[in-house]
Structure 1
Amino acid sequence: MALGVALAMVSVVSVGAAQAVAAPAPSPVKDAVTRAVEPADEVPGGFSSWKDLLATQEKLVKAADRVTAAVKTQDAAGFAGIIAAPENRELRVYWKGDTPERISDLVGRLRRDVPVSILPAAYSARELESEMNRLVRASGDAITSIAPNADGSGLTISSAGHGPNRSKVADSAVPVTVEAGVTPAPASRWDDTAPWLGGAAWRNAGTGRACSTGFAVTAGGASWMLSAAHCGTIGQTAVDPTGQVIGPIAHANTSRDVMLIRAGTAGRVYNNNPGTISPEFSNPVAGTSASYVGMWLCTSGASSGTICLCQVKMINVTVYLADSVLHNLVLLENSTRRNAAGQGDSGGPVETPEPSSTTRQYAVGVISLIDTSAQVPCTGYVINGRICSWRLYYSPWSNATTAFPGIAITTG
């Protein structure tokens, strides 16, 4: 399903030339050390370790993938949404009306491995999508974001101002929750070398804009680096902060906010956290993961460093910018209300650790936008002179495969 968002843009999350900052002193040798990626904070849900939470989450995501695949291939008019709830150790599937026999049979099989609940929904995903699109057309610029509730209960709408015009949505055919003061806006390390890794800094040689590398991929028998399309245009050149050429921007899809830089790459991502930017370390990429409401993820932008304790709140968000429309984004929030991403992190990895050791990462997407109304102090390599936020939007892996058919993740 597709969501509509009309956004009042305040600033670009990628750091422009006017905000250029000095790169940290480069390491004399490229660090290939692998270390665990686990936050020091208390583990949600009473789990004894982050590995235990991630192992439960991985099982729920695999079960959710099977339900999602079945919904796409079978009659799913009543399907409303899915919530992965690792803290509660269960997967929740929401359905309006009677559940088709084939879906019920699938859930019965899945219950052999994980707890799955089929719960009633007031509205289907199709009904919410239709009403959402109607409200966006009727509201003008009063709405900054709109998304369906994953439980099928209605819509959640945000407004940039603190006095949202409720009359614009008063005639909604479904329940609407209005949140005021939400302003999404487009969102190293700093001396990487070939083969280029994810989570490193790069600059647009033509504009000076600073962004982050995402994940190494292959397509058409060639090697590429995935990043965010708003960081540049086809034909421009990506360089690292020291001026070393990474490669040309060869493919870009602005509606999905993904681009491909032609470069020699390796299937690893930098993952040192904001408090320990030296020494640096990187982790191998294990594969890819879909996005579901309730998942716990990490971001790893070049400017902010690796930040975990971030949870998916909404999926399938469409963003209306002044000069483009972005489709199928995901809303992610840092549960501690500390920095999740900021300027210079655009295009950087959104990932989830493989649970057995947390030293391997699944690629989930790349950082796209931040909510500038949720500003917090920045962390990482560049603390001053940037805008950072505890709420962000990212472009999921499915956007890359939709934009670039045949693309495949490079594992390490």
Structure 2
Amino acid sequence: MKLPRFRHLAVAMGIVLAAAGMGTAQAASAPDPVKPRTTGAIEHTGAVPGGFASWKDLLLFQQKLVKAADRVTAISGQYANGYAGIIAAPENRELRVYWKGKAPRAVNDLVSQLRREVAVSVLPAQYSARELEREASRLIHANKDTLTSIAPLQDGSGLTAGTTVLGAARTAITGASVPVTLEYGAKPELATRWDDSPPWWGGGAWRNASTGGGCSTGFAVTYGGAQKILSAGHCGAVGNATTDPTGQAIGSITQDNNSRDVLLIGTSAGGRVFNNPTNANGNAIVSTEFSNPVIGTSSSAVGLWVCTSGAYSGTNCNIRVTAVNVSINVGYIINGTVQAEQQAHTNAVGQGDSGGSVEVVNPSNTSQVYAAGVNTAIDTSTSVACTGYVLTGRICAWRTYYSPWSNATTAFPGIAIIPG
């Protein structure tokens, strides 16, 4: 296997990363070490929430909550008129399940089983998730010039919508069938490790040879019996050729779904992702780069702690999910995204990181990660100083949106992660 040089993270979120801007950033890239097969620990840093003795203890408890949440959501489709949402609250050591009306016996029986492992509260909701999703879809499609994002509140109380034109937005939501809270200023915009080699890993840089745009790789997968690399749908179209920043061919885009913001590049792919150690704020230290094996996938729930890895910003942690099933308006509607926020309000993701890996650290072995999704967009109203390899000439933000693994399985049924 050819040993590549180092690669920078590339945030391909928002602003469809102009080719010229990407080229300039690449010229300022870091030194060129060989492909880092050394495995390092990925760590959340700083004070541990909820009185846990360590981040490992918190993440172990979070893992229990996620598994319990997955079991609830697995049967929720059978009771769509009642299920409203789930919040994982490790700092409170409980899973909160919200339900409209009386929960059916099957749900109560499941909750009783889950309570043997974790505390589960079943709380009343005013609206079901189905009702909120229908109204959210109607509002954002009817008001594309007014609303920038819309998401259901997981407690079933209504919707929250982003806008940059407050007066018009107030008019737009008049007559909505559910309560809508407006957030003024929210503006999602679409957001490389520079010289990888086959098998291609996640968190590396790639360029669209047809358009000149640059993005980041997400995760190695199989689909239709072939190996692929998962990335962000807005980064290209079916048939576009892709390369790394040195011009080495990766492969062509074989599948693309813009409404879920996921695409697949046909190529030799390996189940590892590029990462960096982080500082006290959870941001990448780029003087050292390593890689980590991917051991599976993780669902996303409000309250989940994740890390991001993009080719420009490097690895950033201390990022928490604040909303799920978010529809964002970036000139067209992307559905099913996850909103997450860096808790110290430092960089979570920036331009060039689009398509890069969103990871959940394995608490039992912090040298391993689960695939949670790929970077999609940033909220430019939360812009902050960039971190990583390229610090100037691009926009970074503490609030990010990512396309979760469920978007990939919805767009590409039968897709499977390649473990490392």
**Residue by residue, what CA displacement relative to the aligned partner does 1:349-386 show, whole Å, maximum 9, x if unpaired?**
01100111211000000001111111111000111001
Equivalent-residue separation in structure 1 for 2:109 and 2:87 (angstroms): 19
2:270 corresponds in structure 1 to 266
2:361 corresponds in structure 1 to 353
Residues 281-292 of structure 1 mapped to structure 2, 5 A cutoff: 281-292=290-301
1:88 corresponds in structure 2 to 92
Residues 70-219 of structure 1 mapped to structure 2, 5 A cutoff: 70-72=75-77, 74-136=78-140, 139=143, 141-161=145-165, 165-219=169-223
* TM-aligned CA deviation for residue 23 of structure 1: 5.3
For residue 73 of structure 2, what is the amino acid of its counterpart? T
CA shift in 2, pair 1:26/1:222, >3 Å: farther
Is 1:50 aligned to residue 50 of structure 2?
no
Residues 328-339 of structure 1 mapped to structure 2, 5 A cutoff: 328-339=336-347
Equivalent-residue separation in structure 1 for 2:380 and 2:386 (angstroms): 12
Equivalent-residue separation in structure 1 for 2:349 and 2:234 (angstroms): 16
Contact 2:216 / 2:356 at 8 angstroms: preserved in 1? yes
Equivalent-residue separation in structure 2 for 1:173 and 1:238 (angstroms): 45
For residue 319 of structure 2, what is the amino acid of its counterpart? C
For residue 32 of structure 2, what is the amino acid of its counterpart? S
Equivalent-residue separation in structure 2 for 1:75 and 1:135 (angstroms): 24
Contact 1:13 / 1:370 at 8 angstroms: preserved in 2? no
* TM-aligned CA deviation for residue 132 of structure 1: 2.7
Contact 2:284 / 2:313 at 8 angstroms: preserved in 1? no
| Matched positions, count | 401
Equivalent-residue separation in structure 2 for 1:230 and 1:183 (angstroms): 17
Question: Normalized against structure 2, the TM-score is what?
Answer: 0.91
Equivalent-residue separation in structure 1 for 2:383 and 2:79 (angstroms): 43
Q: What is the CA RMSD across the aligned residues, in angstroms?
A: 1.8
**Residue by residue, what CA displacement relative to the aligned partner does 1:172-212 show, whole Å, maximum 9, x if unpaired?**
33322111111111112111111111001111122221110
Given candidates 367, 388, 404, the residue that maps to 2:396 is: 388
Is 1:312 aligned to residue 321 of structure 2?
yes
TM superposition outliers: structure 1 runs of 4+ over 6 Å:
none
Question: Normalized against structure 1, the TM-score is what?
Answer: 0.93
CA shift in 2, pair 1:194/1:138, >3 Å: closer
Local SS of the residue matching 1:144: strand
CA shift in 2, pair 1:224/1:110, >3 Å: same
Local SS of the residue matching 2:62: helix
Q: Which runs of 5+ in 2 are unaligned?
A: 1-12
Local SS of the residue matching 2:79: coil
2:312 corresponds in structure 1 to 303
Contact 1:160 / 1:181 at 8 angstroms: preserved in 2? yes
* TM-aligned CA deviation for residue 140 of structure 1: 5.4
Q: Which runs of 5+ in 1 are unaligned?
A: 1-9
Equivalent-residue separation in structure 1 for 2:314 and 2:333 (angstroms): 28
Equivalent-residue separation in structure 1 for 2:123 and 2:30 (angstroms): 54
Contact 1:13 / 1:345 at 8 angstroms: preserved in 2? no
* TM-aligned CA deviation for residue 334 of structure 1: 1.0
Contact 1:213 / 1:225 at 8 angstroms: preserved in 2? yes
1:343 corresponds in structure 2 to 351
